[in-house]
A and B are shown apart, each in its own frame.
Chain A
Amino acid sequence: MSNLFILLLVPVISAIVLCFVRDAVRAKWMALLAALLELGLSIPFLCGFIPDASIQFEQRWMWVESLGIQFHIGLDGISLPMLLLTNGLIPLIVLSSFRKAHKGNFFALISFMQAGLLLVFLALDAFTFYVGWEVALIPIYFICALWGDGDRIRINLKFFIYTFFGSLLMLVALIYLYNQSATPSFEWTSFVALDLSESTQRWIFWAFFLAFAIKIPIFPFHTWQPDTYTHAPAAGTMLLAGIMLKMGVYGLIRWLLPVAPLGALAYSQVVMVLCVIGIVYASIIAFKQQDAKRLIAYSSIAHVGLISAGVFSWNTEGLQGAIIQMVNHGLSVVGLFFIMDILQERTGTRTLAEWGGIASKAPRLATVFLIILMGAVGLPLTNGFIGEFLLLKGVFNYGVWYAVFGGLTLILGAVYMLRLYQKSMLGALPDRYTSVLDIKGYEVLVLVVIVFFTLFLGVWPKAILQLSEASVMNLLDQIKF
């Protein structure tokens, strides 16, 4: 059962099948079934995974004989949490779009995207990685541009070209590295083993960094993000914020720092400063937002800023914190965007000023919202706490002042998140919302699952941390600044 390739194949096949399903009801159930099947198929990997630094369940084939390109996938402690995150969130995302009558093509695009995301997280060969990286972009572009709102065509074109440009620069770097070794190869191991001069590593660093920084996004490459998140359909926003941006962070850990350590050393101060600016800047802007979805979009910039800072501190706490915080951020941001979508559907607006007092009519919604919100803010006993704690400790070890300013994310985060809660749930209920329905059915299911994991990981973060610990230590041993 433990065949990684099947894990990639299932979403592709379900995407092809779903293309031909025109009936909305049948489509959504089939999509859910496929997503659950995929989740079920990933359980053996969790059970069979030995938490050491080795690469497991490896598979490789010759792909392009004449160029020596291989199809090479495998799993280690860093990719396993990402695999679980992807396959765990996709069923929730599918379920969260249940009340909308989407035809099969909507779910087909989600499935197709899942395959691309998994390819990115599993790839041990740079060519395989690049293919997954680009392939994930096409479906999300269509999801956002077809079912989005507002000025969706222009916004998503900007998003596409922005990210595509970044990844092309990465392609140049990949081809360069490919030509450097004695026998041209795209293998991760051969990339890491290359003995590159510092000046080379510097430009390689920027070529990779731009691709990842645009995807994550790190200030000042974030300009596509608020618009795209705000005007995408709920499922698209969840995919983008919940999973897709993790591609960028994962790329930093897996590719950028190991391949160009000297470049990273030369510029890590710059990147740290950018991350910290991003944290403060996005938090302040989030505080001023009137559009709830936009507020969460900016909060996401602040959160991933801290995660990236943790990665660049390049120590155990920073990396471990980044990995667990990627999972946490995925969970809470999906929950938050889902709640915003529910509220928008119930009230017909996303504007904070028009909301208020919803807690009195929808107590269940108010409760789960509060718990997920606390997770996002980083209250102890919720999942965000341990992640932010580790990240800040990592950044502290790197430099005190970065931690001081990065730590503002906790305070500012609490401020804008509680403002969001206060404006929507508390206060007096406007007259026109006398009949706000509470969450029910599958909405409860989705949110309860998220709440469960919010608390579970808050109490027992070791569940994730122990998976990645050995791999992280090994990576740090191998690559030293």
Chain B
Amino acid sequence: MGAIITLCVLGIVVLYLGLFKAKNALLPVTLLGLVVTLGFLVSGWNNEALPQFHGMVIFDRLALSFSILCVVITGLVMLLSKEYFKNISTYLSEYFCLIIFSLLGALLVNSYHNFAMLFIGIEVMSVALYILVGIRKTDLASNEAALKYFLMGAFSTGFLLFGITLLYGASGTFDLTALQAYVQTSSEISPLFYGGVLLLLCGLCFKVGAAPFHFWTPDVYDGAPILITSFMSTVVKVASFVGFLRLFSTVLIPLHDFWTPVLLTIIIVTLFVGNITALLQSSFKRMMAYSSISHAGYMLFAIVSIGAMSASGMLVYAAAYSLASVIAFGVLILVKRSTGSENFESFNGLAKREPMLALVLTIAMLSLAGIPLTAGFMGKFMLFNNVMGSYNITLLILAVINAAVGVYYYLHVVVNMYFRKAEEDVMEQHVPASYKIVLVGAAVLTLIIGIYPDSILGFL
């Protein structure tokens, strides 16, 4: 709980720092606050996990491990922001403050134990993002993205709320434990409840960007500033998945005959839509947006095959995906700075100019493609293993076809970096030290998790 309070205070402090024009203090204070949050989360590790505050939140291992992941990834994104925000906006402190509040929402979603908290968490997380996406006020793409995101987000929140209402109507409670008891004990589950489950599923699929509710993803990811995209596609996505996982693992397991076919359809459509559209992209950023849709499909494997190992599989996958995304977007920022474009062509010859950047981006791409010795492979392996546990071989074969397709577009950028020559008028770009630390650190973590997955699995 200390973590949540810390983040609230931190957000307000950062706003005041902005008020007093203490621009140089923003980053150190934010990072310090994140470290304190991390400290609270780690110190709560061995506490007994009981619902706190009238059953509103629960900090069990699931919540803590994913919260730690979210905080660490936010820290990496913040480090990348050092020179980034200055260039695009004057409202520096608002950036930091909004990201912190969004992280706060993510933590609430990670740890909810009551549907009211789930709703509040998702809203806190999203409202901050609506602003962040549109923060480049003069940029038309940014405005369009913000509007789209807001409309779609509000729409999906409506679904979510409606679903929660129906569940309440059927069971008379918002509390997860009580709902669990309702599902397990009541002789006849009301049709309202089933309707509620479907609506909740729609709402959550919107949030994680699973097809056919994915239409906002590419435009919003593309229109938002790169750093915000990287925050959105990692922290926000991961938290939404934890919300998903907690709901299904505590409440809805007994009803799996009902939702498995629905979810299976969603997964298969998501995988194919994400992968096939990603093939056609000429912009790296848009490719990442579509590939994030297909990754949502893979992560849903953990839910369709829900069981004891689902959480650890999802944790490894989420960590791998987040680290790789941070690397990809970090390198994209630098490349865009020197070439002014987000297309694949702007990566041409990067291996000659900046061998280090090319190497870390290659590791990230191999991780996303799921090549062994990277974290992405371990994540895929564990999720595939879960699905195999429930004997869904057809789903696995489809997933494998998609993974092979994925290699094509992930290697696209590697091909550009290593095998094609750059055009001549590329500015020499100095790589700031903070970027080096973040990118190399994330690449090393990717390899460590890939080679020795127990380093992260020991947590759950």
Residues on A close to B: CB < 8 A? 63-67, 130-131, 134-135, 137-138, 142, 145-146, 152-153, 157, 160-161, 164-165, 168-169, 171-172, 175-176, 178-179
In the assembled complex, the Cα of A138 lies from the Cα of B109 at a distance in Å of: 39
Asked if A145 and B415 sit within 8 Å, CB to CB, the answer is yes
Chain B positions 384 through 403: 1 when the CB is less than 8 Å from some CB of chain A, otherwise 0: 11001100010011001101
Which residues of chain A are near B388, meaning CB under 8 Å?
172, 175-176, 178-179
The verdict on B373 contacting chain A, using a C-beta distance below 8 Å, is yes
Asked if A152 and B454 sit within 8 Å, CB to CB, the answer is no
- Within 8 Å by CB of A168, from B382, B403, B420, B458, lies B403
In the assembled complex, the Cα of A364 lies from the Cα of B172 at a distance in Å of: 93
Chain B positions 421 through 460: 1 when the CB is less than 8 Å from some CB of chain A, otherwise 0: 0000000000000000000000000000000111001100
Listed from nearest, the 5 A-B pairs whose CB atoms lie closest are: A165-B404, A168-B400, A131-B372, A134-B372, A175-B388
- Within 8 Å by CB of A178, from B373, B385, B401, B419, lies B385
For chain B, the bracket of interface size reads: 20 to 34
Q: Could you pull out 19 A-B pairs where Cβ atoms are within 8 angstroms?
A: A64-B457, A67-B382, A134-B372, A135-B372, A145-B415, A146-B419, A157-B408, A160-B411, A164-B404, A165-B404, A168-B404, A171-B381, A171-B400, A172-B397, A175-B384, A175-B396, A176-B388, A176-B393, A178-B385
Asked if B371 and A134 sit within 8 Å, CB to CB, the answer is yes
User: A105's closest neighbor in chain B, by CB?
Assistant: B355
User: A130's closest neighbor in chain B, by CB?
Assistant: B372
Given contacts A178-B385, A179-B388, contact A66 B454 (CB under 8 A): yes
The verdict on B93 contacting chain A, using a C-beta distance below 8 Å, is no
Task: Return A136 CB to nearest CB of chain B, in Å.
Answer: 10
Asked if B393 and A64 sit within 8 Å, CB to CB, the answer is no
Given contacts A134-B371, A145-B418, A153-B419, contact A172 B400 (CB under 8 A): yes
- Within 8 Å by CB of B415, from A153, A161, A176, lies A153
User: B396's closest neighbor in chain A, by CB?
Assistant: A172
Asked if B366 and A138 sit within 8 Å, CB to CB, the answer is yes
Which residues of chain B are near A176, meaning CB under 8 Å?
388, 393
In the assembled complex, the Cα of A63 lies from the Cα of B381 at a distance in Å of: 14
In the assembled complex, the Cα of A172 lies from the Cα of B373 at a distance in Å of: 18
Task: Return B279 CB to nearest CB of chain A, in Å.
Answer: 12
Given contacts A153-B415, A157-B415, A171-B384, contact A64 B453 (CB under 8 A): yes
- Within 8 Å by CB of A161, from B371, B384, B407, B453, lies B407
Asked if A65 and B400 sit within 8 Å, CB to CB, the answer is no
The verdict on B312 contacting chain A, using a C-beta distance below 8 Å, is yes
In the assembled complex, the Cα of A176 lies from the Cα of B420 at a distance in Å of: 40
Given contacts A64-B454, A172-B393, contact A142 B411 (CB under 8 A): no
In the assembled complex, the Cα of A137 lies from the Cα of B401 at a distance in Å of: 18
Which residues of chain B are near A153, meaning CB under 8 Å?
415, 419-420
Asked if B419 and A179 sit within 8 Å, CB to CB, the answer is no
Task: Return A10 CB to nearest CB of chain B, in Å.
Answer: 17
In the assembled complex, the Cα of A175 lies from the Cα of B395 at a distance in Å of: 13
In the assembled complex, the Cα of A135 lies from the Cα of B371 at a distance in Å of: 8
In the assembled complex, the Cα of A415 lies from the Cα of B382 at a distance in Å of: 52
> Secondary structure of the A side of the interface?
helix
In the assembled complex, the Cα of A137 lies from the Cα of B372 at a distance in Å of: 10
Which residues of chain B are near A137, meaning CB under 8 Å?
371
- Within 8 Å by CB of A138, from B371, B401, B404, B457, lies B371
Task: Return B304 CB to nearest CB of chain A, in Å.
Answer: 16
Asked if B372 and A66 sit within 8 Å, CB to CB, the answer is no
Chain B positions 354 through 385: 1 when the CB is less than 8 Å from some CB of chain A, otherwise 0: 00000000000010000111000110011011
In the assembled complex, the Cα of A174 lies from the Cα of B382 at a distance in Å of: 13
Task: Return A209 CB to nearest CB of chain B, in Å.
Answer: 15
Given contacts A146-B418, A157-B415, A179-B388, contact A169 B373 (CB under 8 A): no
Which residues of chain A are near B401, meaning CB under 8 Å?
165
Asked if A169 and B389 sit within 8 Å, CB to CB, the answer is no
- Within 8 Å by CB of A152, from B371, B403, B419, lies B419
Residue picked from A138, A165, A168, most chain B C-beta under 10 Å = A168
Task: Return A420 CB to nearest CB of chain B, in Å.
Answer: 31
Q: A160-B407, A172-B396 are in contact. List 18 more A-B contacts (CB 8 A).
A: A64-B454, A65-B454, A65-B457, A66-B312, A66-B454, A67-B385, A130-B372, A134-B377, A138-B366, A145-B415, A146-B418, A146-B419, A153-B419, A157-B408, A169-B400, A175-B384, A176-B388, A178-B388
Asked if A165 and B457 sit within 8 Å, CB to CB, the answer is no
Task: Return B5 CB to nearest CB of chain A, in Å.
Answer: 33
CB within 8 Å of A: which B68-113 residues: none
Which residues of chain B are near A142, meaning CB under 8 Å?
418
- Within 8 Å by CB of B404, from A63, A66, A135, A161, lies A161
Given contacts A66-B454, A138-B371, A172-B400, contact A145 B419 (CB under 8 A): yes
User: B370's closest neighbor in chain A, by CB?
Assistant: A168
Task: Return A49 CB to nearest CB of chain B, in Å.
Answer: 29
User: A175's closest neighbor in chain B, by CB?
Assistant: B388
User: B404's closest neighbor in chain A, by CB?
Assistant: A165
In the assembled complex, the Cα of A138 lies from the Cα of B408 at a distance in Å of: 14
Which residues of chain B are near A160, meaning CB under 8 Å?
407, 411
Which residues of chain B are near A135, meaning CB under 8 Å?
372-373
Which residues of chain A are near B420, meaning CB under 8 Å?
153
In the assembled complex, the Cα of A64 lies from the Cα of B404 at a distance in Å of: 25
Task: Return A177 CB to nearest CB of chain B, in Å.
Answer: 10
Which residues of chain A are near B403, meaning CB under 8 Å?
168
In the assembled complex, the Cα of A134 lies from the Cα of B378 at a distance in Å of: 13
- Within 8 Å by CB of A131, from B373, B415, B454, lies B373
Which residues of chain B are near A131, meaning CB under 8 Å?
372-373
Residue picked from A138, A146, A164, most chain B C-beta under 10 Å = A164
Task: Return B417 CB to nearest CB of chain A, in Å.
Answer: 11
User: B453's closest neighbor in chain A, by CB?
Assistant: A64
User: B454's closest neighbor in chain A, by CB?
Assistant: A65
Task: Return B308 CB to nearest CB of chain A, in Å.
Answer: 10
Task: Return A163 CB to nearest CB of chain B, in Å.
Answer: 10
Residue picked from B312, B393, B458, most chain A C-beta under 10 Å = B393
Which residues of chain B are near A130, meaning CB under 8 Å?
372
User: B385's closest neighbor in chain A, by CB?
Assistant: A175
Which residues of chain A are near B458, meaning CB under 8 Å?
65
Which residues of chain B are near A66, meaning CB under 8 Å?
312, 454, 457
